[in-house]
Structures are given as structure tokens and as C-alpha cells.
Chains A and B, each alone.
Chain A
Amino acid sequence: MKTIVFKLVTVFVLLGLAPLVLSLFHLNLLSEILILAIFALSLNILVGFTGLVSLGHAAFFGIGAYTAGLVSLNLSNNLLVSMGASIIVSIITAAIIGAFCMRVSGFYFLMLTLAFSQMIYSFIYQSTNITGGSNGLSGIPNAVLSGFEFSNAVYVFYIVLLVFLATYAILGIIVKSPFGQVLIGIRENELRVKATGYNTSVYKYVAFVLAGAFGGLSGSLYTYFNGFIAPSDVYWTMSGNVLIMVLIGGSGTMLGPVLGAALFVILETVVSSYTDSWMLIVGSVFIIFVIFFPKGIVGIGQSLMRLAKKRKLKYDAKRKSKAA
């Protein structure tokens, strides 16, 4: 436990220095990466740890974002109030959708999550008087916390960083906990886990709600970050993007989704400054990863480490034999 706290503080201090060295443009890029990393981490609970591939996770991102926006506009722009509302609404939505989706598995689960998220998308798109419809939701006031206004990119960055680290720590513990081990068991062989005496439906349901809650949390951060929400953030392509982040980074690992989100955002930013068809490049990268590196960036890292270790062993042995 102590080492985890130490690691977290180190990362916080290191990343916390970012505003001093990065330009505003790059700082915003980093904020976006961290927000999407939370989003990808939440999906990874389902895809990577429980083995449930969802193609509707944008629903929770959108619900979190719109809830935070609407609460800030109409009720209170207190950070804790709007963020709390986002999480609660996301949990309720996930609890309802999950009750249906848990009845099916595999391909049907994927299609059902897609269907639900598109329903939510079309609701948001058509409720012009509430959500602004295709114009999006604008004019959202800055978040406030006990008199302090998160009025510029640096303040927002710090709140994003804090929430990111908390999310990483909490999910990191959950996946290593006995509960998390059951989820991994379900991913590996649900029949066996059932035969062991676990009510796997309940475990999957909890995982679904957990993923929804953190998905909503990332959405609320996106609202503070952007000050504006477009319905395209709830569209199914968003679900596809986050799935790509998880898979490119390495599903079933904690670091993977974070690296995946980083690579995705960087690719998007860099490539789209050269060509409009940046999705073509992202698509190609995705294909290369799926075929050659199915374990993602983290998998490549692990292979390299193993290779280096082998090399070192060989080198050591050679030196020894020479010395002898």
C-alpha cells in the first residue's frame, strides 16, 4: 500500500509540473489524454477484465458530460454537485441498461449495448429544448469549488490529473481484489466460475455499473475541460474510438488503456494537421496492432523486456565463459 501511495505521489508531482513546461496547446492535449484515459480505463473493466465487449460505452461518457453541463447550467456549477450528479445518473443508467444486457453474451451483448447507446444518442439529439440538439450544449459556466473558479486550462488540468490518479488507483485495486479476480475468471471461463459457486450474472452486472460510473465521471471532466458538449460525443463512433484505445494500448492491463488513449489523441492531433483523412491512419494503426501486436503497446513492452532479459543472460553467460 505504501509503495502505491509513493508511486501516485511521484506521478502527481511529475505530471503536476507539466503546466510549467508545456505550452497551453500541449497542456490541453495532456488533459484530453487523461480524460480519455479514464474513459478507456472504465471500458477496460468490461472488455479487458470481464471479457464483455461493449460497443455502447459512449452512452455513459455522454450522460456524464450532459448531466454535468445541465446541472452546471440549471442548478449549480459547484464541481462536487455536478460531478456527483454525473456519476449518480450514470450509475442509474448503467443499472437499467445492464439489467437487459446481462441476459445475453458475446455478439448479442455487443449489439444490445450499441442499440442502447444509439437510443440515448437519438434522445439527446432530438431533445433540442433540453440538450441543444445538434447544436450541442454551450454556455456552460466554469466549475466552482468553495469559491475557487476553475477558469483556466491549468486549473482544469489539475482537477483532471487528480481524478485520473484516483481512478487509476481505485480501479487498480479493484482488479487485483478477490472481486476483480472473479471478473478475470469470468473472462477466462465463465462456466468454470459458475461451477465454482459464483453467481456470475451479479459479478458481470456490478462490473457493468462500475464501468458506467467511471465512464460518466470522465464525461463530466470533459465538460469542465471543453465548456461545450456536442451530440457526436455520444455517437457510436465514440464507443468505437474508446474500444480502439483499449485494444491498441493493451486490454486487461491498467497501463494499456492510458497509453492507448495517449497514442490515439496524439495520432489524431498530429495526423489531422496534415490530412483530413486521419481516421485512415488510425484505422491502419489499429489493423497493424490487431494482427501483429494483439496485446497492444503493453504487450510490445513486455516482449521487449523479455528479449532484453534474454540478451543480458546470454551476454552474462558469454562473459563468464570468457573469464573462465
Chain B
Amino acid sequence: MVEDKILTISGIGKSFGGLTILKDISLEVEKGERIGIIGPNGAGKTTFFNLLVGDIKPTHGKIFHYNKNITKQPNYLRAQNGIARTFQKNNLLNELSVLENLLLVLQRRQGYGHKWFNRREEKQYPDLYLKAYELLETWGLSHRREVIVKSLSYGEQRQIEILLGIASDPSILLLDEPTAGMSQSETNYIVKLLYGLPRELTLMVIEHDLDVVFGLADRMVVLNDGEVLTVGEPDTVRKDERVNKIYIGTGDED
């Protein structure tokens, strides 16, 4: 049954010098599962993601993608193998257009990244452009196609951040606070898009907006102080006193 686990995280931890950020995290993720990750600031949520995508290497512990040990695999290979992430802070090619941002992701996925002796234009790569237009259409960004990313609104940039993650056609998508800094209406729009993602896509979502994450997730992981406080279904976790104490209802009882 091990084959079903798209990710197996076994006892990973990360220390920077004497400072321990993550202690000993173990988690098994099923294919198609949607996992919400919550926890107070400094709980180690983003560090956890950075370990999974390979931006940093764990101090101890192992990570398996299906049965393959990917603990030492560099980040670009993990991305090629279908582990994609979005960043907590927008991390885009700001001086390029929306379309150019998207094409860079798509051309990698279609295996055109190393082609060096013809221009990347619609005539040469019709399938590439068609796919890009399709995605922009679905995401309601067609009219912003030629706009330079830095002149988009924050919410639109956030949307592109997520779109780029999905465009790489991953099997697991790690979303780091997808609705951070967005207005309520923008949040609603993003949430609708996230709900509409195909069920076979495995999602891991760090989110501060608890309504968003409880609605989306099949299973919640609560991190606190570099450790897993509890794992469980959203309803159970919502009622968990410890969770309420550290995260949700602080100040209620005191």
C-alpha cells in the first residue's frame, strides 16, 4: 500500500546553527489528498515547505516521493518530477509580461527549455501558446496577457503566482498562504479556483485564513514550535482545545 503515498515524510528536522526550526516531523500524504497546514507565526510552516521542495536540505530525516528517496534531490529536479510550490511572497519575473511568465513554465513542461535556435513565437510553438491562452482564459486573465507583471495589482500578481504553480502540471502543489494580503473578494475568487482544481492533484496549503483552509482541506496538520501538535480532520481539529489555545482562540479564556 506504500505506493499510494505520494509523499512520505519521515522524521525530518531542520536546525540553523543552534536554532531548531523544525524538530521531528513525520507525515504521510495520499495521492489526491488536500492537506491544510496551520500554526502560529514561527511554527516552521514555510521551512517545512522549503524542505519538501528542496530549497533547503533537512538536518535529519528522509523524504520519499512515492518510493523514491528524494531527500538529497535538488529543487529543480523535484519541480521536474511534479512537486511544485507557490511562494508566500510573490516571486515572479516582474519585468516580463504575464504571458512570458507563463510561457517559461509551459516550455519547460513541454520539453522546449533547451531549444536555442529558433525564436519562441506563436508560429514556431503553436501548442505552447495555445496552452497558455487556455490557462489565462480559465483564470480570467486573458485581458492582462501582455501586461508587465509589476504593473498588475497585488491580487492579480497573487493569482499569477498560483497559476504558475498549476501551469507546471504538478502532482503535488504546495501553496504557501495563497490568499495572503488579498481583499475578501479576491480571496473568494482564489478560493473558488482552488476548489475547482482537479481532485487527483494533491494539495498542501499553508493558510492563515481558517475559513479557507478548513473548507478546503481533507486533513489538517497543526504545527507549533517546530513540532506537529496534532493531525486530524478539520472538524476534529477545530474543536481541539490545544489548537484553540495556541492559535485560534487565544485570549478567550484568559
Contacts and interface: CB of A to CB of B under 8 A. Distances in A.
Given A182-B104, A188-B93, A198 B117 contact: no
A309 to B, nearest CB: 17
B128 to A, nearest CB: 9
B75 A195 contact: yes
A189 B100 CA distance: 13
Contacts of B53: 195
Interface string A169-196: 0000110111111101100110111111
A3 to B, nearest CB: 12
B108 interface: yes
Contacts of A178: 107, 112-116, 120, 125
Contacts of B120: 176-178, 180-181
Interface residues of A, number: 23
Nearest to B121: A176
Nearest to A180: B116
Chain B interface size range: 35 or more
Contact of A189 (B76, B80, B91): B91
Interface in B87-118: 87, 91-96, 100, 103-105, 107-109, 112-118
Contact of A177 (B79, B85, B115, B164): B115
Nearest to B114: A179
Given A195-B53, A196-B105, A179 B113 contact: yes
A198 B108 contact: yes
Contacts of A197: 76-77, 79-80, 108-109, 168
Main secondary structure of the interface of A (DSSP, over half): helix
B68 to A, nearest CB: 16
Contacts of B114: 178-179
Contacts of A179: 113-116
A226 interface: no
Interface-central residue, B77, B108, B125, by most chain A CB under 10 Å: B108
Contacts of B96: 184-185, 188
Contact of A198 (B87, B100, B113): B113
A178 B84 CA distance: 21
A199 interface: yes
B239 interface: no
Contacts of A174: 116-117
Contact of B117 (A173, A188, A191): A173
Contacts of A181: 100, 103-104, 107, 120
A185 B104 CA distance: 8
Interface string A151-166: 0000000000000000
B164 to A, nearest CB: 7
Nearest to B84: A195
Nearest to B161: A192
A177 B119 contact: yes
A195 B79 contact: yes
A195 B56 CA distance: 12
Contacts of A196: 76, 79, 104-105, 108, 164, 168
B234 to A, nearest CB: 29
Interface of A: 173-174, 176-182, 184-185, 188-189, 191-200
Given A174-B117, A176-B121, A192-B91, 4 more contacts: A178-B107, A178-B114, A178-B125, A197-B80
12 contacts: A178-B112, A179-B116, A180-B116, A181-B104, A181-B120, A184-B96, A191-B91, A194-B75, A194-B79, A195-B79, A195-B84, A199-B77
